[in-house]
Structure 1
Amino acid sequence: MTEENPTSPYLGRPGVPLPTGNDLLQNPMLNKGTAFSCAERESLGLIGLLPAHVSTMDDQVSRVMEGVRRNNTALGKYIAMMALFDRNRALFYRVVTDHLQELMPVIYTPTVGQACKQFSHIYRKGRGLYLSAVHKGRIAELLRNWSYEDVRMVVVTDGERILGLGDLGVDGMGIPVGKLSLYTACAGIHPTYCLPVTIDVGTNNDELLRDPLYLGMRQPRIRGAEYDELIEEFVLAVQEVFPRAVIQFEDFANCNAFRLLKTYQNRVCCFNDDIQGTASVALAGIYAALRLTGSTLTEQTFLFLGAGEAGTGTGSLLVAALMAEGLSEEQARQRCWFVDSKGLVVKNRKELAIHKRPFAHDYPQQTDLLRAVRSLKPTALIGVSGQGQAFNHAVMAEMASLNKRPIIFALSNPTSNSECTAEQAYAATGGRAIFASGSPFAPVALDKRILVPGQGNNVYIFPAIGLAAMATGAERITDEMFLAAARALAAQVTDADLAQSSVYPPLTKIREVSASIAVAVAELVYERGLARTKRPADLLNYIYTWMYQPAYPDYV
């Protein structure tokens, strides 16, 4: 059977009547602000609590955007948008949906990184659940404190590796909140289905520990068995309290991220966006780039700067994609090379982390990126290092000397951590680079051409994965689904996109793109027997029925 899904923003506990008066105005899921009709104001006790004029939602959108644009700083714009989030959720999502290209950098990367760094200083209102080590043994009880009983999407972090900013402790809550905002804006997942969670196990950030306004536990991070037991309790509690929920692990440090994914991906419906989502969006960009180079995937040599979650996750998905095109696993791995902080990842290196070992080749050590490029002659250079400006002019010029159309992806976030800018990549390669980045860059004018850099943002992938998992009732999320998502995303790149050197579709089409990817992933869920719902006759239409449209209901 297919499932019923919400069509109204009022999803409170059964039997609870619609609030009235100020209680209604204070409920962000129900509030319409100045858009309450005269009849609604009369019947719901709102007369005198609002100005006389009844606004349309379009009026309200214009008012919000005027106020946001009046802010002179990105952080000011973020605070203004989150204030709207706190008072009127439908309007928030309507504004974001209508102005996604302008506002996504405000509500998510790069501004969310700044907001996380200032989180304890700009805190206004709780927007998720904060579970700490002192709550051990009570996690299920605390999950039941959440406002909504039917949670389908949980984004959880322990704040140890926030973007490229490091350990921000409980201040990392801005990431789950931001991610879930994009689930709704980009794939239409109803906001009441979304639960942001921060697991506070302390912080090793001395600056935070000394900050009198820091809101988290003021102690060093818990490690070892105590940490694992808390995470286990959390995962089991989610299965108990929200049995249909997907868990997305977000911004965990390498020492935990790979291990937790391996522990839980075959036990519960979960994924790690840093490992799997980044891999999928990067692979999609490569598929699209190959349409510009005229070559095949099996002809490529990939060199990664950065061998953490994003890098080795992408490498692993590339190996799967290469094997699907006929290479053996050994041959596929020989196409993927990594440079980390100590140089090229090779077999004679001592104390290699376990996630790097499958990509350690028998090859002479190259101590820096430029030497590695000259020696390996890669066709694609992929930055996932978190090291701003790591792709210097010499490195990119060398890539241009080796390739007619060098693929250069600078995927690190936020913008300050991008390995290079779009303008730098085009300038160093005479405009021949096929460039993509994790954070947005403006179009670049070069030699009477306008080059539009693609943004390899995970927002193309994770909302669609969540949408497909919810619509099908998926029991598990597999690596194969991210390969299917990459292919589906690449298929959405048009010849017109490629003509302006963009290897991703424009964000203005994100809902259409998300629906297409969700269909491809859902097909695989049904094919592999992982669905808990019957496959509908019209899968695309069924996916669209799950996509929340931010609009006001009539209460009278």
Structure 2
Amino acid sequence: MHSKKLSKKSEVAPKEPNCDDTDGKYNSFEHMQCIQDTFWRNDMKEPPCLHTGLEMVRNSGFNKGLAYTTRERQLLSIHGLLPVAVRSIKEQMEVCMEIFNSLTTPIERYLYMSDLERINRHLFYRLMLTSLDKFIKELDNSSASFQINNYSLLFINPNGLFITIKDRGHIFEVLSNWPHRNIRCLLVTDGAEVLGLGDCGAHGMALAITKRCQHTLFGGLHPDCCLPIMLDVGTDNEVLLNDPLYIGLRQHRVTGKEYDDFFDEFIVAVHRLYGPRAIIQCKDFGTNNAVALLERYRNRQCFINADIQCLAACGLAGIMGAKPLTHKTLEQHVLLFVGDNYFNIGMARLCMLYFKREGLDEAVANNLIWFCDEHGLVVKNRKNPVPNALQNFAKRHRPVEHLAEIIEIIKPTVLVGCSGQPNSFTAAVLNAMEKSAEIPIILAMTRPAEHAECSAEDAFVRTKGRCIFISGSQIPSVKYANKRYQPGCCSSVLMLSGIILGIVLSGMTTVPDEAFLVAAERISELVWPEDLEMRDVFPPLRKVMCINLQVAMAVFDYAYRRGLATFFPQPEKPRQFVVQSLYKNEYRDYVNEVYCMSDRFIGTEESRAHYK
């Protein structure tokens, strides 16, 4: 046997793939190549000629179940694959509701609705809209703790993308794996601070999927336009790391420069694939990361943060909506924020923007906003350092540690709590607020309601029924002194989908904070007098679709008024344009009418004379 001598070329080991992409070929805006801009694609209907009849039955966007007519079944070659009965969508909804009502556990209901969305999208959204009162609690963020805590068990079908820190250098390829290219809104989370549950890791994806459903139901966005994305950089939750069923990355959370480079590559990949008008909606990031990322990318991409901007705008709308009760405009209030949570920071920033817009001097406006954290009043000369996010709100004042004493000194009319510390608004604190203002406004925003700073009952009792109470969760009415009071529910579902719709339709490439201020003012104008009598300073949640449509119109008009819109020509009838752009959850006819293309043949002279 003769052995061949290996050449030097064959002896060289194959080059390992470059996982870090150190050359940065496509990881910066300077070297970026934009693949396509999906903004100009307005027709979201996929032509049925691309699919066979069997493929249409298996496709959630085409499937009609038993609603296929006999003619459709025969011409699409699916006759015999379905029972002979033909049902209308109304009859299908009755069957679905009967099944849903028979289910007893949350996991059964969640899995049933997930399967329904996967099998028949039109029926799923029609059912949700028709029975919105029944499903609104399932869609509200404050009720999503079950889905978040059990997401490793509930995950069955991919409803979004999971991009991990291990994909560094290849994020564009991973993002390209999503089958739909007409993405207008990316719902991004890293699961660092989910509601009041803390670090939930990959389980934060459950809330991103819920947001996609909200945007379709409340904002009228096509489901294929929204893409939930989980940026999995690990978790510091030891319970999840030790859970053998956990579906996320099993390592501690990445921070610092490595995290920043990873996120920067993600932003560039989005810009390349979907263009500058694709909205990157961030939610449930850590407070420090959320603030830093917003400041870094807000002028480079259509970048918003649902917690810092939208939820904060909703809280601001509640204070504005209380004007008929307090007889005070926003600039006549003194606000005390407890905690350095992103909600408090975002709301304080919006207040400063409003004060400046109304002509207040910056120093005067700054004296209307005070912060308090676990170390006491946020002042410049205290022993403990002031967090970076609160540097602009630190005052020159003597240090004060106890919250009740702080209230007695600065006399706030609005107390905003989002500290994550249950029952931190003690009896002494609430008694101090009762003396501080004639009608004090108290926001206990930590979610879920069991973890809030105080209960609605305690607030009304300690303030002798004079307060306006706002919660981050939906809670029932409270009875005090033979009178019913309804606590307000500060929820982003009232405006977030409308804001997204207004941004998408106008083609904004950057979103100033003023857009959220416009949305807050519009929400405050929609409060019903009957609700104000019960101290509810928000529009009724059952009208959430109408409310979001009003917000979308306000943002749409604002974009053209400020020269931020890129969709031209400007529609002459904006409301009609917005309404016509909404997602239609109706079945389509997949078989066109048959017509003759041949010339008519007339056989006799008598017939020819007749036709003449």
TM-score, normalized by length of structure 1?
0.94
Residues 193, 477 of structure 1: alpha-carbon distance in 2 compared, 3 angstrom cutoff: same
Which residue of structure 2 lines up, in the alignment, with residue 120 of structure 1?
A: 152
Question: In the aligned structure 2, how far is the partner of 1:436 from the partner of 1:102?
Answer: 23
Which residue of structure 2 lines up, in the alignment, with residue 435 of structure 1?
A: 469
Deviation at 1:74, TM superposition (A): 4.1
> In the alignment, does 2:380 pair up with 1:380?
no
The 10-residue stretch of structure 1 (310-319 or 398-407) with the greater mean CA deviation from structure 2 = 398-407
Question: In the aligned structure 1, how far is the partner of 2:107 from the partner of 2:366?
Answer: 42
The 10-residue stretch of structure 1 (444-453 or 301-310) with the greater mean CA deviation from structure 2 = 444-453
Deviation at 1:76, TM superposition (A): 4.1
Deviation at 1:130, TM superposition (A): 0.6
> In the alignment, does 2:329 pair up with 1:296?
yes
Contact (CA 8 Å) 1:516, 1:540: kept in 2 or not? no
- Provide Cα deviations, 1:157-189, integer angstroms capped at 9, x if missing partner: 111111121111111101111111111111111
TM-score, normalized by length of structure 2?
0.85
Matching residue within 579, 590, 605 for 1:555: 590
Equivalent residues in 2 for 1:82-121, closer than 5 Å: 82-121=114-153
Which residue of structure 2 lines up, in the alignment, with residue 475 of structure 1?
A: 509
Question: In the aligned structure 2, how far is the partner of 1:73 from the partner of 1:417?
Answer: 24
Tell me, which stretches of 5 or more residues in structure 2 are unaligned?
A: 1-38, 592-612
Which residue of structure 2 lines up, in the alignment, with residue 135 of structure 1?
A: 167
Residues 426, 101 of structure 1: alpha-carbon distance in 2 compared, 3 angstrom cutoff: farther
Which residue of structure 1 lines up, in the alignment, with residue 42 of structure 2?
A: 5
Question: In the aligned structure 2, how far is the partner of 1:521 from the partner of 1:65?
Answer: 36
Matching residue within 207, 231, 254 for 1:175: 207
Which residue of structure 1 lines up, in the alignment, with residue 432 of structure 2?
A: 398
Deviation at 1:42, TM superposition (A): 2.8
Equivalent residues in 2 for 1:99-498, closer than 5 Å: 99-243=131-275, 244-349=277-382, 350-498=384-532
Contact (CA 8 Å) 1:159, 1:167: kept in 2 or not? yes
Which residue of structure 1 lines up, in the alignment, with residue 72 of structure 2?
A: 40
Amino acid at match of 1:440: Q
Question: In the aligned structure 2, how far is the partner of 1:405 from the partner of 1:215?
Answer: 49
Question: In the aligned structure 1, how far is the partner of 2:244 from the partner of 2:339?
Answer: 35
Rg (Cα) greater in structure: 2
Number of residue equivalences: 550
The 10-residue stretch of structure 1 (313-322 or 379-388) with the greater mean CA deviation from structure 2 = 379-388
Question: In the aligned structure 2, how far is the partner of 1:422 from the partner of 1:64?
Answer: 36
Residues 322, 47 of structure 1: alpha-carbon distance in 2 compared, 3 angstrom cutoff: same
Amino acid at match of 2:71: A
Question: In the aligned structure 2, how far is the partner of 1:392 from the partner of 1:50?
Answer: 62
> In the alignment, does 2:572 pair up with 1:537?
yes
Contact (CA 8 Å) 2:495, 2:547: kept in 1 or not? no
SS at match of 2:558: helix
SS at match of 1:356: helix
Residues 436, 37 of structure 1: alpha-carbon distance in 2 compared, 3 angstrom cutoff: farther
Contact (CA 8 Å) 2:141, 2:207: kept in 1 or not? no
Question: In the aligned structure 2, how far is the partner of 1:280 from the partner of 1:104?
Answer: 21
Deviation at 1:3, TM superposition (A): 5.5
Deviation at 1:103, TM superposition (A): 1.6
The higher relative CO (CA closer than 8 Å, separation ≥ 6) is in 1
Residues 4, 292 of structure 1: alpha-carbon distance in 2 compared, 3 angstrom cutoff: farther
Contact (CA 8 Å) 1:74, 1:106: kept in 2 or not? no
Tell me, which stretches of 5 or more residues in structure 1 are unaligned?
A: none
SS at match of 1:174: helix
SS at match of 2:292: helix
Deviation at 1:421, TM superposition (A): 3.2
Deviation at 1:193, TM superposition (A): 0.3
Contact (CA 8 Å) 1:343, 1:368: kept in 2 or not? yes
Please provide the CA RMSD for this pair. Answer: 2.1
Equivalent residues in 2 for 1:511-522, closer than 5 Å: 511-522=545-556
Which residue of structure 1 lines up, in the alignment, with residue 35 of structure 2?
A: none
Question: In the aligned structure 1, how far is the partner of 2:207 from the partner of 2:480?
Answer: 35
- Provide Cα deviations, 1:95-135, integer angstroms capped at 9, x if missing partner: 22233343232134233222112111222111100111221
Deviation at 1:4, TM superposition (A): 6.0
The 10-residue stretch of structure 1 (113-122 or 184-193) with the greater mean CA deviation from structure 2 = 113-122
The 10-residue stretch of structure 1 (294-303 or 362-371) with the greater mean CA deviation from structure 2 = 362-371
SS at match of 1:471: helix
Question: In the aligned structure 2, how far is the partner of 1:424 from the partner of 1:67?
Answer: 40
Question: In the aligned structure 2, how far is the partner of 1:263 from the partner of 1:66?
Answer: 50
Residues 15, 104 of structure 1: alpha-carbon distance in 2 compared, 3 angstrom cutoff: closer
Question: In the aligned structure 1, how far is the partner of 2:97 from the partner of 2:363?
Answer: 53
Residues 391, 546 of structure 1: alpha-carbon distance in 2 compared, 3 angstrom cutoff: farther
SS at match of 2:280: strand
| Regions of 4+ moved over 6 Å | none
Deviation at 1:27, TM superposition (A): 2.0
Contact (CA 8 Å) 2:107, 2:154: kept in 1 or not? no
Contact (CA 8 Å) 1:421, 1:441: kept in 2 or not? no
Matching residue within 77, 96, 101 for 2:109: 77
The 10-residue stretch of structure 1 (464-473 or 87-96) with the greater mean CA deviation from structure 2 = 87-96
Contact (CA 8 Å) 2:142, 2:195: kept in 1 or not? no
> In the alignment, does 2:92 pair up with 1:55?
no
Question: In the aligned structure 2, how far is the partner of 1:487 from the partner of 1:337?
Answer: 23
Question: In the aligned structure 2, how far is the partner of 1:60 from the partner of 1:393?
Answer: 53
Contact (CA 8 Å) 1:100, 1:507: kept in 2 or not? no
Contact (CA 8 Å) 2:472, 2:490: kept in 1 or not? yes
Residues 305, 79 of structure 1: alpha-carbon distance in 2 compared, 3 angstrom cutoff: farther
- Provide Cα deviations, 1:280-339, integer angstroms capped at 9, x if missing partner: 101111100122111222221111122121101100101111222232122112111122
Question: In the aligned structure 2, how far is the partner of 1:48 from the partner of 1:317?
Answer: 60
The 10-residue stretch of structure 1 (269-278 or 101-110) with the greater mean CA deviation from structure 2 = 101-110
Amino acid at match of 1:399: M
Question: In the aligned structure 2, how far is the partner of 1:69 from the partner of 1:121?
Answer: 22
Which residue of structure 2 lines up, in the alignment, with residue 64 of structure 1?
A: 96
Deviation at 1:190, TM superposition (A): 0.9
Question: In the aligned structure 2, how far is the partner of 1:68 from the partner of 1:427?
Answer: 39
Deviation at 1:72, TM superposition (A): 3.5
Matching residue within 495, 506, 525 for 2:540: 506
